[in-house]
Amino acid sequence: MPPPSAARVAWDVEQLSTVPAELGGHEVQGARVELIIRPAPDLVINEDVRFEVRLDAGNYPARPPAVRRLTENAKAVDGVDAAGSVNLPILDPRAEPNGWSRGYSLAVVFYALRDVYRKAEADWAPPPPHAQGSSEPVAGRPAVEANLSFGLTVGHAGDQGKRMSMEDVVLIKPLDVPSKKTRRSQLIVVFDGHGGRKVAEWASELLPEELQRNLRVDSWGDALKRAFPAVDAELRRRREADSMGRDASGSTVLAALFDGRDTFHVASLGDCRAVLSQKDGYVNCSNDCRADRPDEIARVVRAGGFVANKRVNGQIAVSRALGDFAFKGGALGDRVSCVPDLTSVKLRDGDDFLLIGCDGVFDVLTSAEATSFVRDRLGQGRNLDDAAMDLVRHAIDDRDSRDNVSVCLVKLQKTAPEVYTEGAVAALHSVPVAEPLHAANAPRAPAAKPRKTGVLDDEDLMDFLMNDDNFA
């Protein structure tokens, strides 16, 4: 039987290189590959488990690879029996709709095998795969104790760009958190709506309320992460009551929660991004969560879906979002998840500003380009709102972004530690409580280049078809 093409094997190996070393590894011997699953806090195994993957069985990749477990006496789990036989839908070309696709890589197979050893409940989340074909580093950096306190000043800007309507919403809300003895906390969020703006608008009301309830008992990060599923459940209830279940909108979310002292807790649901500018460059504070990420493909398939053309069920490009209830609630789980990735970043001396933007920015600019652009504008004396609008216009006019574009800039200033007094009235007047960025009220540059109107590209068409208001 002829071996698979060298180009395909090379691509598979390249995809496997995106798997973080702490999660596992691989060894290649021609058309035979060994995948190694390493123990981790979210898995039920306490030693390496190795699998043999043969690529010459049945005209790979038109047919799936043949996989068997090599490690003896490993724990038997659903999908892998005691003898080592592997029986997963993703390795079955006849399974519908979540069977094998020639577009799935061996990295997807790795994550599908890893998932069978996941604990039912695990507090620890594995690091995401490194972005293939991208220079973007994985989010986060080691925490360094600096005993510093910071204050924030926030600016924002947005524009509907070349889209037919504005579906982004920005929330900037100071928080009084007695349980944490601070009145300096702030919640800064970009909601990037699609298929309509109802979910983005409702979520901007619900998220701070749910977060405040959680903060009474939870840590900062846990309170933020737990808020998202609760908000999604209420969105579903509102959808049923308000539109008889017809609203098909959804929203990706990037929420940055400042603890009032020196740490941002960043929850990412989808492909918005947060980037921290520092004196020697930048650090990503979130990981893009798109439908073509190998760990996300494996999760979608496990939930009974599939990924085609980099879209969940061939329709939606993000695999995590609020709303999008047509992709949720199946017997095997949610194909589009409402559980965010969480990254906590402790601030240091030399940190300058936090940039939060929707994918309308980062589809056309790298993190390095965006932070450099803003740093240059602030160095010219531009205020935060103007610098944010400059970045918005740069993305639309100079880089041809074809999406709504929304930006928040959070300037960091070292300050004296907070002296918290029980019962004192908080002075929370530095930023607006919550402001949706409508096309009509968003600040605009005076010399914007003309843009097309009335022309539907693929993204516009998908949004139009998913918005039931267009067919009322």
Does residue 449 or residue 313 have the better pLDDT?
313
Say if residue 463's pLDDT is above 50.
yes
pLDDT average, residue stretch 426-453: 39
Q: Are residues 51 and 186 in the same domain?
A: no
User: What's the pLDDT band for 345 if we cut at 50, 70, 90?
Assistant: very high
Q: Are residues 88 and 177 in the same domain?
A: no
- pLDDT score at 140: 79
Q: Are residues 221 and 86 in the same domain?
A: no
Q: Are residues 326 and 430 in the same domain?
A: yes
Q: Are residues 170 and 103 in the same domain?
A: no
Residue 216 lies in a domain: yes
- pLDDT score at 438: 38
CATH of the domain at 37: 3.10.110.10
Residue 60 lies in a domain: yes
- pLDDT score at 131: 63
Distance CA 447, CA 347 (A): 37
- pLDDT score at 57: 56
Residue 284 lies in a domain: yes
Say if residue 420's pLDDT is above 80.
yes
Say if residue 430's pLDDT is above 50.
no
CATH of the domain at 388: 3.60.40.10
pLDDT average, residue stretch 406-434: 73
Residue 363 lies in a domain: yes
Say if residue 214's pLDDT is above 60.
yes
- pLDDT score at 409: 98
Say if residue 442's pLDDT is above 80.
no
Residue 121 lies in a domain: no
Residue 128 lies in a domain: no
Q: Are residues 258 and 346 in the same domain?
A: yes
Q: Are residues 102 and 173 in the same domain?
A: no
Say if residue 431's pLDDT is above 60.
no
Encode pLDDT of 122-137 as tens digits: 778 898 887 655 667 7
Encode pLDDT of 162-178 as tens digits: 999 999 999 999 999 99
Encode pLDDT of 290-343 as tens digits: 998 999 999 999 999 999 999 999 999 999 999 999 999 888 899 999 999 999
Encode pLDDT of 48-92 as tens digits: 999 999 987 558 888 899 999 999 877 788 899 888 999 999 999
pTM, 2 dp: 0.87
Say if residue 16's pLDDT is above 60.
yes
User: What's the pLDDT band for 459 if we cut at 50, 70, 90?
Assistant: low
Q: Which residues of 319-336 are buried (b: 16+ CB within 10 A; e: fewer)?
A: bbbbbbbbbbeeeeebbb
User: What's the pLDDT band for 448 if we cut at 50, 70, 90?
Assistant: very low
Residue 92 lies in a domain: yes
pLDDT average, residue stretch 260-286: 95
Domain limits for position 160: 149-471
Torsions phi, psi for 335 (to 5 deg): -70, -35
- pLDDT score at 93: 84
Q: Which of 115, 134, 166 is the last residue of a domain?
A: 115
What average pLDDT does the chain have?
Answer: 87
pLDDT average, residue stretch 424-447: 41
Q: Are residues 416 and 462 in the same domain?
A: yes
pLDDT average, residue stretch 30-45: 93
Q: Are residues 182 and 274 in the same domain?
A: yes
Q: Which of 115, 133, 164 is the last residue of a domain?
A: 115
Total domains present in the chain:
2
Say if residue 470's pLDDT is above 80.
no
- pLDDT score at 460: 58
Q: Are residues 395 and 312 in the same domain?
A: yes
Q: Are residues 196 and 106 in the same domain?
A: no
Residue 134 lies in a domain: no
Q: Are residues 237 and 384 in the same domain?
A: yes
